[in-house]
Amino acid sequence: MEKIVKGKAFVYGANIDTDQIYPGRFLDLTDPKDVGKHAMEGADPGFRQEFKPGDIIVASTNFGCGSSREHAAVTLKAVGVGVVLADSFGRIFYRNAINLGIPLVVCCGIANHVKKNDILTVDITGGKVINETTGVTHESQALTGYAMNILENGGIKSLIKSQYGQ
């Protein structure tokens, strides 16, 4: 996985729940390509047109709260989210995203310091977010431990497959 991610910021507020990331009425879709068509539809209907692979989602507290739907992580993976920065994450979403290989980085207050379309460079393991547009560097929590182990193995599926594949 890329440990340094550079991309354009898409900025949101607090409590962006999984219904906003992926509305419930599309849960019967199962192909990731189809799931990707509805990314962030409840929070930002223009997201799909503007977001490019490698771009970055920035939010305040509790990003991904709510439902256990893995579709919320699948849809962000399908559009190629480089990293999500937030004060905190809903815990099931956190597991789902890390399991699929999407880096989530805790960076307190970041949504107050970044505007939409700012260019950010995120050092995922180094604990640093540089806002290239404003020139300001913010401290983040370095991703380490078991979550990093999953990411470095390309997600939990390949990790489990290598250990338990029947």
Partner 1 sequence: MMHAIEKILAKAAGLVSITAGEIINCKVDLAGINDLYLQTIRSFYEMGGKRVHDPKKLVVFLDHYAPASTIAQADNQKQFREFCWNQGIDLLMDIDQGVCHQIIADKGLAHPGMVVVVTDSHTTTHGAFGAFGTGVGATDLAIIMMTGQLWFRVPEIIRINLEGKIPKGIYAKDIILDVIGKVGADFAVYKGVEIAGSVLKELSIADRMTICNMTTEMGAKTCYIQPDEITFSYLREKAIDNYEIFTTDSDFQYAADLTFDVSDLKPQIAAPHSVDNVSSIAEFIGTPINQAYLGSCTNGRVEDLAIAATILKGKKIHSRTRFIIVPASKNVLLEAINKGYVQTLIEAGATFVTPGCASCLGTHEGLLASGETCITATNRNFPGRMGSTKANIYLASPAAVAAAALEGKIVDPSGYLD
| Tokens at 158, concatenated | 């390949």
Backbone phi, then psi, for 6, in 5-degree steps?
Answer: -120, 130
93-132: which residues touch partner 1 (CB under 8 A)? Answer: 94-96, 99-100
| Contact status: 52 vs partner 1 (CB under 8 A) | no
The continuous run of DSSP H or E covering 119 comes out as strand 119-123
**What is the nearest approach in angstroms of partner 1 to the Cβ of residue 165?**
3
Q: Is the four-CA dihedral 109, 99, 51, 27 of positive or negative sign? A: negative
Residue 25 or 115: the one with the smaller Cβ distance to partner 1 is 25
Q: Which is nearer to partner 1, 43 or 56 (CB)?
A: 43
Stretch that binds partner 1, among 50-58, 89-97, 125-133, 135-143 (CB under 8 A): 89-97
Contact between residue 18 and residue 38 where contact means Cβ atoms under 8 Å apart: no
Residue 157 touching partner 1 (CB under 8 A): yes
- Tell the burial category of 46 from Cβ atoms under 10 Å away from its Cβ (0-12, 13-18, 19+): exposed
Binders of partner 1: how many residues, by CB under 8 A?
44
Residues 18 and 63: beta-carbon distance below 8 Å: no
- List the x/- string, 1-30, binding to partner 1 by CB under 8 A: -------------xx-x-xx--xxx-xxxx
The residue among 102 and 120 lying less far from partner 1, judged by its C-beta, is 102
Touching partner 1, residues 53-72 (CB under 8 A): 61-62, 65-71
Listed as own residue / partner, the contacts of 127-133 with beta carbons closer than 8 Å and 24 or more positions apart are 129/85, 129/105, 132/6
Residues near partner 1 (CB under 8 A): 14-15, 17, 19-20, 23-25, 27-30, 42-43, 61-62, 65-71, 73-74, 88-92, 94-96, 99-100, 145-146, 156-157, 160-161, 164-166
